[in-house]
């Protein structure tokens, strides 16, 4: 029989598996009923190992991208040595331009005067006429508030609008405990704790079970001589033990595999209010050296006859048989006191200043609002549109040359277009959330790499403290400030942050 090109003796493999190397399908018993059943079990194990190897190859050929789907809340396919952390992805915004009216459209009226000509006549020299006078439009200035950034609802550590935002784990624990996600503005909730409650109860415990005592009256005998068979003829079976030889064999106790392990240390976690750290590590195969006894000759037996034996002896003949008397002994009990849990430990969130079980732990979240931002603009609107009024001019008479009307005065309306102003306002495009990101951790960092990061932070204008290759508090603060300025994910030293700093990993 062979697995992956390696020849393995069937009895040897079965012994190794029976000793705790069952792998994927548990131990295979050494006491199989037949060789055929053993071969079937080994064939099933071989197929399982081939499937495991195929999956490992698929994992090794998986994508090396540092950024993966933000909609997926499970750990991605990764190579051994990579670490991932749940980090805070900030909300994103974009600037939107909006065109608003600062002066409405209107009209302008031009007056074209009447035309006359001179004629010789001793009659009326000027007809009666009308004069059209323009009454200009009247404008007034008005102010208008334009929204440039909408209001946001957030959770803070107290009701003060300037207090710090509540950590994500506090918010998640409160919502899990029943606090509404969209609570009323100004409402506050506090965490309460109550230890488990116990009470003392009495219990009747059996100290000694009921029993019986037997009083025996001995039998009475007399002595007589008698030849008796003291030992019948018989056969004795003598064991011939098996002969064994000790051999050693190295067997696979556990195959190599990869597994996710929780990360630790200041390199992997910068902001404790964000998610967990997970690192994919490779665990090597484990072998065990077994000593086993190999049968040289099987155990057997042989029969030896033993002759009967006789003897003249004095025998004791029973005159009065023994007698027994059974006496009942009652059970014995005792009363014991013990502590019984009456109520489990309580950890919950409830509205502040409400009466209930538990004492406040000091954690509190309050629903507050970051007010919207507006911009006040001034614009002119038409209060009274442009009009005209007519003034009557009476006719004139004189014995002179007269001025005769050729064309009457008229008005021409000219459209005045509206005036606009373009303003820019900030609009949120995505909400902040927690997502998995590839981060720097103990398995892929070094003192030299940390020095590069500190130098890059100093060059970018962020003070990392001493350039000593240690991921100290000042270096962590500088990384967090750099991520805030860039709008990156916070809560771990992500590879996106390293790319922005110009630091390469694995060179």
For the chain, domains (ranges, CATH) are: 2-62+246-291 (no CATH), 96-148+374-427 (no CATH), 151-200+339-371 (no CATH), 211-241+299-329 (no CATH), 430-501 (1.10.101)
Cα separation, 365 vs 86, in Å, equals 22
In angstroms, how far is the first alpha carbon of the chain from the final one?
46
Most confident of 17-26, 87-96, 159-168, 474-483: 474-483
279, 441 in Cβ contact below 8 A?
A: yes
The answer for 181, left when phi > 0, alpha when psi is -120 to 50, beta otherwise, is: alpha
pLDDT at 308 over 80: yes
Using 50, 70 and 90 to split pLDDT, how confident is the model at 263? low
Cα separation, 126 vs 129, in Å, equals 8
Which among 500, 453, 429 is positioned nearest to 66, based on CA atoms? 500
Which residues have a Cβ under 8 Å from the Cβ of 384 and sit 6 or more positions away? Answer: 137, 138
What average pLDDT does this structure show over 335-344? 83
Using 50, 70 and 90 to split pLDDT, how confident is the model at 454? very high
Q: Which residue has the higher pLDDT, 503 or 506?
A: 503
Question: What is the pLDDT, as a whole number, of residue 63?
Answer: 38
SS3 assignment, position 439: strand
pLDDT at 373 over 70: yes
Structure tokens at 390: 């007519």
Give the containing element (helix H, strand E) for 94.
strand 92-103
Using 50, 70 and 90 to split pLDDT, how confident is the model at 278? low
Question: What is the pLDDT, as a whole number, of residue 463?
Answer: 94
Which residues have a Cβ under 8 Å from the Cβ of 47 and sit 6 or more positions away? Answer: none
Cα separation, 154 vs 164, in Å, equals 10
Q: Give tens-digit pLDDT for 114-139.
A: 888 887 777 777 778 887 888 888 88
16, 23 in Cβ contact below 8 A?
A: no
pLDDT at 1 over 50: no
Using 50, 70 and 90 to split pLDDT, how confident is the model at 66? very low
Which residues have a Cβ under 8 Å from the Cβ of 331 and sit 6 or more positions away? Answer: 206, 208, 209, 210
Question: What is 57-77 written as a DSSP string?
Answer: HHHHTS---S---TT--SPPP
Spacing of C-alpha 95 from chain mean position: 31
| Exposure on the CB side of residue 502, measured as CA atoms within 13 A | 8
Question: What is the pLDDT, as a whole number, of residue 405?
Answer: 82
Question: What is the pLDDT, as a whole number, of residue 129?
Answer: 82
Q: Give tens-digit pLDDT for 218-230.
A: 888 888 888 778 7
Give the containing element (helix H, strand E) for 452.
helix 447-459
DSSP state of 126: E
What average pLDDT does this structure show over 76-93? 67
Cα separation, 108 vs 128, in Å, equals 27
pLDDT at 310 over 50: yes
- Please return the burial class of 216, using the count of CB atoms within 10 Å of its CB with bins 0-12, 13-18 and 19+: exposed
The answer for 169, left when phi > 0, alpha when psi is -120 to 50, beta otherwise, is: alpha
Question: What is 285-345 written as a DSSP string?
Answer: PEEEEEEEEEEEE--EEEEEEE--EEEEEEEEEEEE--EEEEEEE--EEEEEEEEEEEE--
Burial 332-370 (b: 16+ CB within 10 A, else e): eeeeeeeeeeeeeeeebbbeeeeeeebeeeebbbbbbee
Task: Give residue for tokens 């071989």.
Answer: 46
Q: Which of 279-288, 290-299, 443-452, 496-505 has the lowest mean pLDDT?
A: 279-288
Structure tokens at 301: 């037996």
Question: What is the pLDDT, as a whole number, of residue 287?
Answer: 82
Which residues have a Cβ under 8 Å from the Cβ of 260 and sit 6 or more positions away? Answer: 75, 278, 279, 280
Burial 284-307 (b: 16+ CB within 10 A, else e): eeeeeebebeeeeeeeeeeeeeee
Cα separation, 267 vs 282, in Å, equals 20
Structure tokens at 389: 């009024």
Phi, psi of 203 (to 5 degrees): -135, 135
Cα separation, 353 vs 331, in Å, equals 57
């Amino acid at each position: 029989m062979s697995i992956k090109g390696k020849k393995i003796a069937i009895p040897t493999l079965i012994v190794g598996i029976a000793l705790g190397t069952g792998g994927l399908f548990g131990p295979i018993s050494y006491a199989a009923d037949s060789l055929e059943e053993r071969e079937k079990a080994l064939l099933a194990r071989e197929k399982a190992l081939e499937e495991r190897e195929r999956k490992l190859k698929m994992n090794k050929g998986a994508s090396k991208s540092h950024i993966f789907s933000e909609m997926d809340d499970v750990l991605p396919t990764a190579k051994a040595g990579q670490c991932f952390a749940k980090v805070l992805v900030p909300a994103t915004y974009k600037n939107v331009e909006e065109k608003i009216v600062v002066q409405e459209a209107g009209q302008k009226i031009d007056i074209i005067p009447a035309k006359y000509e001179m004629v010789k006549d001793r009659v009326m020299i000027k007809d009666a006429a009308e004069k059209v006078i323009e009454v200009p439009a009247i404008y007034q200035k008005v102010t208008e508030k334009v929204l440039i950034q909408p209001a946001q609802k957030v959770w803070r550590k107290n009701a003060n609008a300037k207090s710090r935002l509540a950590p994500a784990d506090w918010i998640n624990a409160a919502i899990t405990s029943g606090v509404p996600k969209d609570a009323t503005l100004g409402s506050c909730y506090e965490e309460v704790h109550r230890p488990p409650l116990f009470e003392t109860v009495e219990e009747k415990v059996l100290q000694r079970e009921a029993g019986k005592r037997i009083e025996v009256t001995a039998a009475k005998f007399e002595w007589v001589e008698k030849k008796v068979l003291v030992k019948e003829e018989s056969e004795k079976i003598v064991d011939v033990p098996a002969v064994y030889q000790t051999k050693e064999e190295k067997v696979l106790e556990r195959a190599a595999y990869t597994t996710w392990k929780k990360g630790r240390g200041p390199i992997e976690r910068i902001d404790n209010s964000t998610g967990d750290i997970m690192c994919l590590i490779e665990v090597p195969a484990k072998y065990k050296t077994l000593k086993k006894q190999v049968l040289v000759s099987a155990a057997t037996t042989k029969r030896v006859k033993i002759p009967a034996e006789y003897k003249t002896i004095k025998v004791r003949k029973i005159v009065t048989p023994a007698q027994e008397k059974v006496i009942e002994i009652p059970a014995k009990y005792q009363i014991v006191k013990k502590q019984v849990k009456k109520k489990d430990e309580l950890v919950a969130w409830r509205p502040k200043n409400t009466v209930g079980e538990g004492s406040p732990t000091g954690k509190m979240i309050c629903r507050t609002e970051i007010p919207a931002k507006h911009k006040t603009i001034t614009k002119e609107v038409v209060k009274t549109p442009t009009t005209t009024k007519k003034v009557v001019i009476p006719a004139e008479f004189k014995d002179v040359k007269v001025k005769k009307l050729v064309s009457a005065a008229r008005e021409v309306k000219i459209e005045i277009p509206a005036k606009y102003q373009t303003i820019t306002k900030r609009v949120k495009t995505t909400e902040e959330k927690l997502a998995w990101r590839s981060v720097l951790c103990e398995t892929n960092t070094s003192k030299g790499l940390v020095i590069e990061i500190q130098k890059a932070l100093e060059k970018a204008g962020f003070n990392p403290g001493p350039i000593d290759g240690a991921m100290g508090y000042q270096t962590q603060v500088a990384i967090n400030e750099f991520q805030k300025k860039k709008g990156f994910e916070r809560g771990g030293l992500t590879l996106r942050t390293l790319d922005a700093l110009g630091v390469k990993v694995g060179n």
